[in-house]
Structure 1
Amino acid sequence: MRTRLAGPVQYRWMYPFERFLRRLKNNIRNKAKVEGSICNAYLVEEASSFCEYYFADSVKTRHRKCPRNSDDPRPIDSNMFSIFKFPGRPIGAYIFRWLDDKEYHAARTYILLNCDEVKPFINMYEEELRKENPALRPDEVDKMLDTNFASWFESHVKEPNSNVHDDMMKDFASGPLRNTRVYSGYYVNGFKFHVTRRNSTTLTSNSGVYVKGSSNLTDELDYYGMLDEIIEVEYPALPIKRIVLFKCSWYDPTPRIGTRVHSNYKLVEVYANRRFNKFEPFIFAVQAGQVFYAKYPTIRRGPSEWIAVCRMKARSTIEMPTSLTPADHDAFQNEEAEGHSLDSQVQTTSQLLVDVNITYEELDDEEISTDDEIDVVIESDNYNLEISDDYDTDYDED
C-alpha cells in the first residue's frame, strides 16, 4: 500500500538531503556567520565549475579526469606543414641553448628528410645524383643526402626559376634558429619521457628510447638508445613553427655484434659497451617508443655486457590482433564435449499415407472433362467427405 501511495522509494527518502546538508555544513569556516559561510562556499564551487569548461583538456578538474600521460591538444593551423602538427606536451620549465655546427646540421637535415612536403625535392635531388653518376650505390645516396641536401634545397628554393612561391617553404628552407629550448621531460604517444641526467637520481627510468629504422638499404634495423636532451627548435617568420626533437645516444644496431634477437622468444638484447658510430642523434618526439633496459643477474662485479630490452606499452591503450585465427577460440578443456548429431538431410521422395478403410474407384481420362463438375466421395467408418471442383466441402458425421 505504501508503494502505491508514495511511489518509488528514492523519491521520498531523506538520505540524499541529509548527505547534502552534511556537505554544506563542512563548508562552514566562520561559526559566527554560518549562513554566509555556506553561501560563499556554494558560490565559489559553482563559479569554479563554470570556469573549468574553458580550461585546456589537459587540465585535471573536479568533474573531469584527463589521462595521466595525455598529449596537449593545442590548436594547429591547417596550412602548417605536417611536421608542425605533431602532438606532445613538455614537462616543467625550459632553458635556452645554442646548437653547435654539427648539431645544427644534423637536426636540420633530419627534419628535411622526414618532411612529407619535401619528398618531391628529395626525389629530384636523387635523380640529379643518378644522372651524374648512374653507378651510385644506395648507401652512397644516403651519404650524399646527409651531407649536401640541406644546402642544395636552400639554394634550389631561393632560385627565381624554381617555381617555388610558397613563403612557408622558403622559410623552411632557410633552416631553424640556433637558439633552442631544452626541456627535462615530455609527454607523447601515451608515454612520459625524462632525460638521462634526471633519472640518475630516481628509482624509476623513463629515458629508454627505441625507433624503427628506415633507409634506402634493404635491411631495416631498430635503434635502441638513451634520451639525452629534449630540444624544441623554431623556424623564423610567422606563423610560429616549432617542432620537438629527441637527442639520443644509440647503441650499436649491427646484428649479432651490437644487437641480437632470440630466435624462439624474440627477446632483444643490446651490447652496453658499443655505441652507434654515425652521428644521427635526433628523432621526432612522436616517433619515439619507450623501453626499459634490464640487467642480467651475475656474480661478476663489473657491469654486464648484454642488457635485455623490455618494450613498454602506453597507458590507456589495448593492443588488438589484426586477424583472428581458429586457434584463438579453442576451449580451455581437456575432455571433449558430448553431443548428439542431427540428421540434416531432407528426404526428397514423397510418402503417401494410405487409409485401409477408404475405397478407391479408378476413372478414365475420357470420362472426365474440364467443363463437368467432379465429385469425389470418400467413404470411411468415421465420416463421409464430398469434394467438388467448386472447392465446397461438406462433412457428414455418422
Structure 2
Amino acid sequence: MHIEKNVCESLFNTLLMNKDKSKDTDKARRVLEKWNIRPELWLVDNGRGKLSKPYAKFSFTNTDKSLFCQFIRGVKLPDGFGSNFKHKVTENDTQITGMKSPDHHIMMQWLLPIGARAYLDKNISTPIIELCHFFKQLCARNLMSSDMQDTEEKLINILCSFEQIFPPSFFDVMIHLVMHLPEEAIQGGHVYMRWMYPFERYMPMLKNYVRNKARPKGSIAEGYVADEALTFCSRYLKGVPTRFNRPDRNEDAPIPTHEFYVFPSLCTPIDKGVDTKLDRELWAKLIWFILNNNSEIEDYKDEFTTLMSPGTNLQANFPNRFKQKINHLRANNESSISNELLALANGPRFANSYTACIVNGVRFVIESRDLRRTTQNSGISTTGHDGTKYYGVLEDILEFGYLNRCKVVLFRCKRYKTNNTKLCVIKNNITSISTQTKWFKNDQYILATQADQVFYLDEPSKAGQRVQSNRYWKVVQEVNHWKIWDQDIITETQETDIIHGSTSSDLSLSANLDSLTYDGLSRAGATNFNVSPEHVDLDDNAYEDVDDEDNDGDNEIDVTDDSEDDLLETNNECGVVTYHTDEDD
C-alpha cells in the first residue's frame, strides 16, 4: 500500500511539475549533462546569466496540466468509493493537493492512466499505464498465482522503459521495491487482506482522544480504555442501537431462499416508493419478460409450443394459458404446484417505483436523481450470454408484488450502442464508449441482480480540441466492492463473483513495450523557467560512482579526515558497518 502511494506520489508530481516534490529537478538535469546522456534535456544558457530548463515530454505542459486538473475536478465516484476530488484541485487549476493514501490508490489505478493517455506521447504513456494496471491487477479480488509469475517478468520491461524516460533521480528504493510485489503476493496472498488502510482510518480516532496536548500518549490511553469499557457494556444492552447491531450504510436485507430465479431479485429501497400505474401493453410485456427469464418453467413453455397452432404468438398467449393451467392443477390439489409457482402464474398484483435502492450491498440511484449528487451510482453494466458487455445508466426501479409476499425488482436502463468499433474503443485495457447513440430502445428492462455497477469518467479534452467533440465520450471504470469472503487466498481457477469483484486475468499486461522508441524527450521550442547557475551547481560526488583511478586501483574508499567526526569502519567478517568515536577508545 505504501509502495503504491510513494510510487504514485513520485510519478504524479513529476508529471505535474511540482517544484517541491518533482523528481525532475535542476540538479537532475545537471546530472544528465555530467553523464553525457540525453543532451536534449540539458540546461541551456540563455546568454543573460540564466539557465533555461527545456520542457520534458514526460511532464504535462501548462495547458495540459490545467486540463488534467479540470478533468480531476469533474470526477464523481460511487458512494463510499473514495473522497471528493473536487476539493483537492486548487482554484487556478494548476495543482492537486491534500491527497492521502486512499486518494493515491484511486489516482494510480483509475484516474492517472486516463490523463497519461490523453496528454502524453504514446511511447511515454504506455509504460505508465502498464504500471498503473499492474497495481490494479495486484489488488484484484481473485488473484491468480500464474498471473503474478507472468507479471513479474513484464515488470522488468516496464521499469526498463521508465529508465529510458525519467531522469536517474526518479529511481529511488520505492521504484525498486515494485519488483518484489508479485512474489510477495504469491507468498502472502491477497493484498486487500494485508494492506494498512483500516489502520490508517483508525489513527484519526486515536488522535481525537487527545485532550491534553502536553500528554498525548496518556490521553490516547485514557480514551482507549474508556472506549473499550463502553464497548464491553454495550454487548449486554438489548434493544439499544450500538455499533455492533447498527446496520452498515449500504447493507442489504437478507434474501430469502426461493426456488425460482426471478424471486431472489430483491432490493432494499432507500426512499419511499410510489405506486406506479403502467399501461396495458407495457404491463403484458414485463410479465412476459419475467416468465421468459425463468428456466424452471421451460417444460410448460415447451408443452404450450407443441399444442399451439402455427402462427400463434407465444408472448401474447402463453401467460394466460400458463395461469389457467396452474390454477386448475392447484384446485385439484396437485402436490407439484408450490406457492411460488402459483404466485408466478397469477402475475404481479402491484408495482412500486423507487429512485434509489441497495442490491447485494451496492447502492444504485436513478440518473435523474444522480445528476444532483456529488457521487455517481447510476452507471450499470450487464453481461450477455456470449460474454458481451453492455453499458448504460439506470432510469427507473420497479418492484412488482406477487402472491405469498413474493417480489421481483426490475431496472429500466438506457443502454449505449457499443457494437461498433467507432462507438466503443478498447485501448491499453481502457474502455471508452460513445453515449450519443442509444441501444435496445424496446428492451430496456433487466433483473436487479443482473446489473453490475460501473462509473463513467469524462474523456479528457486535449489542448486545441473542442470540448463538444468529447462531450459524448465516457471512460468506463469497473467498481470493486471490498467484501470479505471465506475462500482460498490464491485461487487457481476463476470463480463466479456475485459481488462485483475482479480477477487478475482480466487485467493482464498486454502492451508491447519493445516497439517503443525514445529518440528525444524534450518538447521543441519550449522552455520551463529560468534557473540561476548557482542553484544548479553539483557537488563532485553527487550521483557519481567511485572512480578506480582516484582510488589508486585498490577499490578502497578513504573516509578518514582531520576532523573529530565519527569514523566509519567495515567488519570484514560479516560486512556490518560500525561506528567508532574517540570515546570508545
Q: Where in structure 2 are the equivalents of 1:243-254 lying within 5 Å?
A: 243-254=408-419
Tell whether 2:387 aligns with 1:208: no
Normalising by structure 1, what TM-score? 0.55
Indicate which of 174, 194, 199 corresponds to 2:370.
Answer: 199
The answer to whether 1:297 aligns with 2:443 is: no
State the 1:145 CA deviation: 5.4
Structure 2 residue corresponding to 1:288, chosen from 447, 451, 460: 451
- Percent identity, aligned pairs only, is 24
Structure 1 equivalent of residue 348 of structure 2: 176
Long gaps (5+) in structure 2: 1-217, 495-503, 509-585
* 1:226 equivalenced with 2:389 (yes/no): no
The answer to whether the 8 A contact 1:69-1:315 is kept is no
Amino acid at match of 1:269: S
Q: 1:233 to 1:87 in 2, by over 3 A?
A: closer
CA contact (8 A) 2:261 2:293 kept: no
Matched, 1:95 2:274: yes
Instruction: Return the letter of the residue paired with 1:285.
Output: A
Structure 1 counterpart of 2:375, which letter?
T
Alignment of 1:53-68 (within 5 A): 61-63=242-244, 67-68=248-249
Q: How does 1:336-347 map to 2 (within 5 A)?
A: none
Tell me what 2:97 maps to: none
User: What is residue 242 of structure 1 aligned with on the other side?
Assistant: 407
Cα distance in 1, alignment partners of residues 328 and 368 from structure 2: 45
2:299 equivalent to 1:120: yes
Q: How far apart are the structure 1 equivalents of 2:473 and 2:455?
A: 13
Q: What is the deviation of 1:245? A: 1.6
> Is the contact between residue 340 and residue 406 of structure 2 (CA under 8 Å) also seen in structure 1?
no
Give the Cα–Cα distance (whole angstroms) in 2 for the partners of residues 261 and 321 of structure 1. 31
Q: Counterpart amino acid of 1:63?
A: F
Q: Secondary structure at the match of 2:263?
A: helix
Q: Contact 1:97/1:182 (CA < 8 Å) preserved in 2?
A: yes
- In the other structure, the counterpart of 2:253 is 72
Whole-Å Cα distance in 2 between the matches of residues 70 and 157 of structure 1?
37
Q: What's 1:348 paired with?
A: none
C-alpha change, 1:251 and 1:101, in structure 2 (3 Å) is: farther
Amino acid at match of 2:251: S
| C-alpha separation in 2, matches of 1:170 and 1:64 | 37
AA aligned to 1:267 is I
Pairwise CA RMSD: 4.2
Q: How many Å apart are 1:148 and its aligned residue?
A: 4.7
Give the gaps of 5 or more residues in structure 1: 1-14, 25-41, 134-140, 329-398
Deviations 1:340-376 (A, max 9, x none): xxxxxxxxxxxxxxxxxxxxxxxxxxxxxxxxxxxxx
- The answer on whether the counterparts of 2:364 and 2:377 sit within 8 Å (CA) in structure 1 is yes
Task: Provide Cα deviations, 1:207-236, integer angstroms capped at 9, x if missing partner.
Answer: 00111123xxxx553221111111211013
302-311 or 279-288, which deviates more? 302-311
Higher mean C-alpha displacement, 183-192 vs 227-236 = 183-192
Which residue, out of 395, 410, 431, partners 1:268? 431
Q: Deviations over 1:244-268 (max 9, x none)?
A: 22111112243436x5252x63433
Structure 1 residues 305 and 92 mapped into 2: Cα distance closer, same or farther (>3 Å)?
closer
Q: By percentage of residues, which structure has more helix? A: 2
Greater Rg over alpha carbons, structure:
1
Query: Within 5 Å, which residues of 2 pair with 1:105-184?
Result: 105-125=284-304, 132=310, 146=315, 148-158=317-327, 165-166=337-338, 168-177=340-349, 179-184=350-355
Letter in 1 for 2:399: E
1:269 Cα deviation from its structure 2 partner: 3.0
Q: Distance in 1 between matches of 2:274 and 2:294?
A: 27
> d(CA) in 2 for partners of 1:317 and 1:23?
29
- The DSSP-based 3-state class of the residue aligned with 1:122 is helix
- Using the TM superposition, give the Cα deviation of residue 301 of structure 1 relative to its aligned residue in structure 2, in angstroms: 3.7
Report the 3-state secondary structure (helix = DSSP H, G, I; strand = E; otherwise coil) of the residue aligned with 1:256.
Answer: coil
Q: TM-score normalized by structure 2? A: 0.39
Tell me what 1:311 maps to.
Answer: 478
Instruction: Find the aligned partners of 2:415 and 2:449 in 1 and give their Cα distance.
Output: 17
* Corresponding residue SS for 2:323: helix
**Higher relative contact order at CA 8 Å, sep ≥6: structure 1 or structure 2?**
2
